Structure 1
Amino acid sequence: MPDHVHFWTRHPEARTAWDPDLEPGLHLTAYGHAFLELFQRMRGAGLPVSIGVDIPAYATAVVASMEELVAHQPQIPARMRLRLGFALLRRALVAPGRMPGMVVLRVDTYLSVRAPSFTTLEAMPTRASVRLSRQRVLPLLPQRGIRPRDAGRGDRLETVAIKAYSYNVPAWADARFRSSLTELGMTLRVDTEHDGRWEDFRDVDVVLCTHGRGVDERSKPPTKLIAAWHGGAIPVCGSYAGYTETGVDGETMVLADGDSADALLVALRRLRDAPELASRIRSALPSAAAAHSAEAVLDTSWLAFTSAPPTPRLLSALAVTAPAAALSRWRRLMR
Structure 2
Amino acid sequence: MQNGVAGETGERRAVPHWPQPGLIPRDPARGDRLETIAYFGSNQYEPQFVKAGAFQDALRQRGVRFVNRFQGEWHDYRHVDAVLAVRDCPPVVLATKPASKLINAWKAGVPAMLGPEPAYRELRASPLDFLETASAEAVLDAIDRLRQEPGLYRMMAEHGAKRAEAFDVDMLTQKWIALLEEARERNRRETLHPTMRVIRYWGNRQKINLGKRLSGWRD
Pairwise TM-score range, normalised by the shorter structure: 0.7 to 0.9
User: 1:184 and 1:226 mapped to 2: Cα distance?
Assistant: 27
Amino acid paired to 1:300: K
Question: 2:79 aligned with 1:203, yes or no?
Answer: yes
1:228, CA displacement in angstroms?
A: 1.2
User: 2:200 and 2:182 mapped to 1: Cα distance?
Assistant: 27
User: 1:260 and 1:213 mapped to 2: Cα distance?
Assistant: 14
In the alignment, which residue of structure 1 is the partner of 2:186? Answer: 310
1:215-253 CA distances to partner (integer Å, 9 max, x unpaired)?
Answer: 522111111111112222211111111111123443222
**Does structure 2 conserve the Cα–Cα contact (< 8 Å) formed by 1:163 and 1:198?**
yes
1:17-43 CA distances to partner (integer Å, 9 max, x unpaired)?
Answer: xxxxxxxxxxxxxxxxxxxxxxxxxxx
1:290, CA displacement in angstroms?
A: 2.1
**Does structure 2 conserve the Cα–Cα contact (< 8 Å) formed by 1:250 and 1:277?**
no
1:321, CA displacement in angstroms?
A: 6.8
| TM-score, reference length from structure 2 | 0.78
User: 2:176 and 2:125 mapped to 1: Cα distance?
Assistant: 23
User: 2:63 and 2:75 mapped to 1: Cα distance?
Assistant: 24
Question: 2:146 aligned with 1:268, yes or no?
Answer: no
Q: Say if 1:172 and 1:249 are closer, same or farther in 2 by CA, change over 3 A.
A: farther
Of structures 1 and 2, the one with the larger relative CO (CA 8 A, separation 6+) is 2
Amino acid paired to 2:141: V
Matches within 5 A, 1:108-127: 124-127=1-4
Q: Say if 1:161 and 1:237 are closer, same or farther in 2 by CA, change over 3 A.
A: same
Amino acid paired to 1:275: P
Q: Say if 1:209 and 1:248 are closer, same or farther in 2 by CA, change over 3 A.
A: farther
User: 2:19 and 2:83 mapped to 1: Cα distance?
Assistant: 16
Aligned Cα RMSD in Å?
A: 2.3
Q: Say if 1:316 and 1:234 are closer, same or farther in 2 by CA, change over 3 A.
A: same
Amino acid paired to 2:104: A
1:160, CA displacement in angstroms?
A: 0.6
- Return the match for 2:172 from 297, 300, 305: 297
- Return the match for 1:285 from 157, 160, 164: 160
SS of match in other structure, 2:33: coil
1:172, CA displacement in angstroms?
A: 0.8
User: 2:137 and 2:125 mapped to 1: Cα distance?
Assistant: 21
Give 5+ residue unaligned stretches, structure 2: 203-219
Q: Say if 1:277 and 1:319 are closer, same or farther in 2 by CA, change over 3 A.
A: closer
Question: 2:25 aligned with 1:148, yes or no?
Answer: yes
- Return the match for 2:37 from 149, 160, 169: 160
Q: Say if 1:151 and 1:135 are closer, same or farther in 2 by CA, change over 3 A.
A: same
Larger Rg: 1
Identity %: 27
Amino acid paired to 1:224: K
Matches within 5 A, 1:313-332: 314-318=194-198
Higher normalized helix content (fraction of residues):
2
Give 5+ residue unaligned stretches, structure 1: 1-123, 323-335
SS of match in other structure, 2:5: helix
| TM-score, reference length from structure 1 | 0.53
Matches within 5 A, 1:1-335: 124-130=1-7, 132-174=9-51, 175-193=53-71, 196-216=72-92, 217-256=94-133, 259-308=134-183, 310-311=186-187, 312=190, 314-318=194-198
SS of match in other structure, 1:275: coil
Count residues in correspondence: 195
Higher normalized strand content (fraction of residues):
1
**Does structure 2 conserve the Cα–Cα contact (< 8 Å) formed by 1:129 and 1:219?**
no
Moved more, 265-274 or 172-181: 265-274
User: 1:138 and 1:244 mapped to 2: Cα distance?
Assistant: 16
User: 1:245 and 1:272 mapped to 2: Cα distance?
Assistant: 27
**Does structure 2 conserve the Cα–Cα contact (< 8 Å) formed by 1:207 and 1:228?**
yes
SS of match in other structure, 1:190: strand
